[in-house]
């Protein structure tokens, strides 16, 4: 298993499908290799962008096994857990560990608005079933359950809960977490349009979406901010913002997959019930992408690319 810190850019990668909706590993590999070449620090599989709701367990585990073999320990591979029942989440966590996953991202219970006690219990039950380190996913906007500071207080006793993907869209939450818990939890920003602001406020990492189409620019913003080169980071962010805002639309999967095709590192195929973009909506998204590509900035030297990794 890889030794890693919960820091850096962790792409929430899309799942590639063939025209008949089978897993397309060839297209998937092109994108993963682009992420590695740009300097991504981890890979997250089967998240919202990965169309987790349409994948069965066999497919999730197949993606995990394939990615582990492809990455060869260069970066940690994290499997998202978004199951409906606690026992199913526990079962998938155990299988992920057996296959060699480096960590888990864990959503609250799906399709049921659990109260605070139920949510905390769910997280603890999954965590105690596996030694894998865990990132919790706090996204009350889309999943209707907020992991509050008081809930994090209860979860702080679970040593394997290491990080949080903070997607409440409230940048203030980052400071609230630091003020309450210090460095107990590593904090990842999970909302692309406010990622730069979140990193400026001290977020440790970025679970990114538009990175799937623009890996170098995403890594560059992160590294420049961490190096204190704020003016350079802001310049890239200002160019990037119209693209980053594609991440907060209900059709973010279709929007980002279209962007992947425009940059040559993905395919547009989605799995039903999602449908391909068409008409005025497609024309609008294409214009956002094409306008950005027409003035795509040169990146500062050394702001992206592979860094040395440590494995054991």
- Residue-wise pLDDT tens digits, 211-240: 999 999 999 999 999 999 999 999 999 999
Asked if 177 and 152 count as a contact pair (C-beta separation under 8 A), the reply is: yes
Q: What is the pLDDT of residue 3?
A: 73
Residues 208/218, Cβ–Cβ less than 8 Å: yes
Distance separating alpha carbons of residues 309 and 303, to the nearest angstrom: 17
- State the CB neighbour count (10 A cutoff) for residue 65: 15
DSSP state of 48: T
What's the pTM? 0.96
Mean pLDDT of the chain, nearest integer: 96
CA separation for the pair 284, 278 (Å, rounded):
10
Q: Token digits for 263?
A: 């940059």
Q: 2 to each of 8, 12, 79, how far by Cα in Å?
A: 15, 19, 14
Q: Tell me, what's the pLDDT at 308?
A: 64
Question: Residue 9 is inside which H or E element, if any?
Answer: strand 8-11
Q: Give the up-direction half-sphere exposure of residue 72: CA atoms within 13 A in the CB hemisphere.
A: 4
Domains of the chain, first to last: 8-294 (3.20.20.70)
Look at the chain and count its residues.
312
């Amino acid at each position: 298993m890889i030794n890693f810190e919960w820091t850096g850019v962790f792409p929430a990668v899309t799942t590639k499908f063939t025209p008949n909706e089978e897993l397309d590993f060839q297209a998937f590999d092109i994108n993963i290799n682009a992420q590695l070449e740009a300097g991504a620090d981890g890979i997250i599989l089967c998240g919202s962008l990965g169309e987790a709701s349409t994948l069965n367990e066999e497919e999730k585990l197949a993606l995990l096994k394939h990615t582990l073999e492809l990455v060869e320990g260069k970066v940690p591979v994290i499997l998202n857990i978004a199951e409906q029942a606690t026992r199913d989440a526990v079962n998938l966590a155990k299988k992920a560990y057996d296959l060699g996953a480096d960590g888990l991202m864990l959503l609250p219970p799906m399709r049921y608005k659990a109260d605070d006690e139920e949510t905390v219990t769910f997280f603890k039950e999954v965590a105690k079933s596996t030694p894998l380190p865990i990132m919790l996913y706090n996204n009350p906007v889309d999943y209707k359950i907020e992991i509050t500071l008081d809930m994090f207080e209860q979860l702080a006793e679970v040593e394997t809960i290491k990080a949080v993907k903070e997607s409440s869209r409230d940048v203030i939450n980052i400071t609230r977490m630091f003020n309450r818990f210090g460095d107990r939890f590593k904090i990842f920003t999970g909302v692309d349009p406010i990622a730069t602001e979140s990193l400026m406020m001290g977020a440790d990492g970025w679970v990114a979406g538009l990175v799937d189409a623009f890996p170098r620019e995403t890594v560059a913003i992160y590294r420049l901010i961490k190096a204190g080169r704020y003016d350079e980071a802001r310049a890239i962010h200002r160019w990037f913002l119209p693209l980053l805002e594609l991440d907060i639309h209900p059709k973010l999967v279709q929007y980002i997959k279209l962007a992947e095709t425009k940059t040559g590192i993905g395919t547009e195929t989605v799995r039903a019930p999602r449908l391909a973009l068409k008409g005025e909506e497609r024309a609008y998204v294409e214009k956002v992408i094409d306008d950005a590509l027409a003035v795509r900035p040169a990146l500062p030297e050394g702001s992206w690319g592979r860094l040395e990794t440590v494995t054991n």
